[in-house]
Amino acid sequence: MRIAIYAFDDITMFHLAAPLMVFGEVQRLGLATDWETRVWSDAEGSIRTSEGYSLGDIAGPETAEWADIVIVPSWHVSLDPLGCVVRTAVLKAHSRGAAIVGLCLGAFAVADANLLGGRSAVTHWAVLPELAERSGGSSVDASVLYIDHDDVMTSAGTVSSIDACLHIVRKHLGTSAATRVARQLVVAPHREGGQAQYIERPLADRATDTTIADIQEWILAHLDQDLSLDDVARHARMSRRSFVRHFKLSTGTTPARWVLERRLDEARRLLETTDWPIDAVATACGFGSDVTLRQRFAAMFSTTPSEYRRHFAARAPA
C-alpha cells in the first residue's frame, strides 16, 4: 500500500504526524511489508509547520501519481481554496483509482476538488456549515468520526484522524491488525460515533463500576448461551429494573443492545479468523440459527456474513 501524505506551510505537526504514526506502526509491527508512506507538497523542498519547525526532504506533487491512497491530513485554518497544483495532482490520482482522504479540515480540499458529488462528508464540528456550503449539495454529519465512500473519505476534527487511519488499516489488513496498531499506540481500536461495522468491544470502566464491568466480562465468556435479561440480572445479583437502570447509566445503552452488539462483534471475529460454516458461527455467538445471524448482521452492517468474510478473511493476519 503506497500512501502519499500532503503537507503545506503552517500545517500542525500533530495533523501531519497522525497518519505517519499509524501507518508507520503497520511497518514496525511487521503487519505488512509493502506499506510505504511519503510526504509531498506543491513543490519539492521543505515546509514550515505552524509550530515554527522546518521540515525538509519533502517530495513534489508527482508523488500523488505513485500512491494508492492520497491523504490531505488537514487544511489552512483560513480555509483557503484548493490550489491548482494540488487539485490537479489529487484529481489525476483519483481518476486512476487512488482513494482520496481528507482528515479534519482536509475535507475542504476534497470538497474543492469536487470529489464528494453530493455524498455525505464530515470535518471539524466548528466548520461543518462552511463545508456544507462549499461542497455544493453534499450533506454533513456531525455524529460520526469518519465517513468512507471507498474512493473518498473524510474525518472529523483532530484526534479523529487517528480513528480514520485505524479504519484504513482495518479495511485493508483486518480487525486484528488494527487492534494491534491501536494497542501499540495506546488508543482505542475504535471510539463510539464511527461506523458500526468497526466498533470493538467496549467495557465499563472497572475503576468506577466494578459490578457492571464484571457482568460484561461474564457475558463475553458466555455469548453462546441464552443470556435472557432476567438471567443476567440474577447473575449480577440485582433486580431486573435496577440492573437495566445501572447498566444504562454505566454504558449509555441497554443490556439487550450491548449483548447484541457483542454477539455481532464475536461473529465478525469468527468470520475473519475461522472457516466455520455460518450456522456454526451463529451457534457460537448465541443467535440460535444462521437465519437470525444473517438478519441481525445485515441490519447492523448492511452486508451479509458471507460477504463480510469474503472481504476481510483473506486480509486478516493469522
Q: Report whether pLDDT(267) > 60.
A: yes
The CA distance from 104 to 122, in Å, is 8
pLDDT on residue 191: 62
The verdict on 183 and 209 lying in the same domain is no
CATH number, domain containing residue 82: 3.40.50.880
The verdict on 108 and 239 lying in the same domain is no
Distance set, CA 46 to CA 36, 83, 268 (Å): 20, 18, 44
The count of domains in the chain is 2
**Tens of pLDDT along 110-146?**
999 999 988 999 999 889 889 999 998 788 887 788 9
Q: How would residue 240 be classed by pLDDT, with cut points 50, 70 and 90? A: very high
The verdict on 56 and 172 lying in the same domain is yes
**Count of CB atoms situated within 10 Å of the CB of 63:** 21
**pTM recorded for the entire structure:** 0.64
User: Which of 29-33, 62-66, 152-156, 201-205 is predicted least confidently?
Assistant: 201-205
Q: How would residue 201 be classed by pLDDT, with cut points 50, 70 and 90? A: very low
Residue pair 65/93 in contact (Cβ under 8 Å)? The answer is yes
Q: Report whether pLDDT(309) > 80.
A: yes
Closest CA to 226 of 251, 269, 263: 263
Q: At what angle do helices 175-185 and 13-28 cross, to 10 degrees?
A: 120
Question: In sequence order, which residues have a C-beta less than 8 Å from that of residue 210 and are 6 or more positions away?
Answer: none
The verdict on 193 and 205 lying in the same domain is no
CATH number, domain containing residue 223: 1.10.10.60
* DSSP H or E run through 164: helix 160-173
Q: Which of 163, 197, 231 is the last residue of a domain?
A: 197
| Boundaries of domain holding 54 | 2-197
Q: Report whether pLDDT(20) > 50.
A: yes
Q: Report whether pLDDT(107) > 60.
A: yes
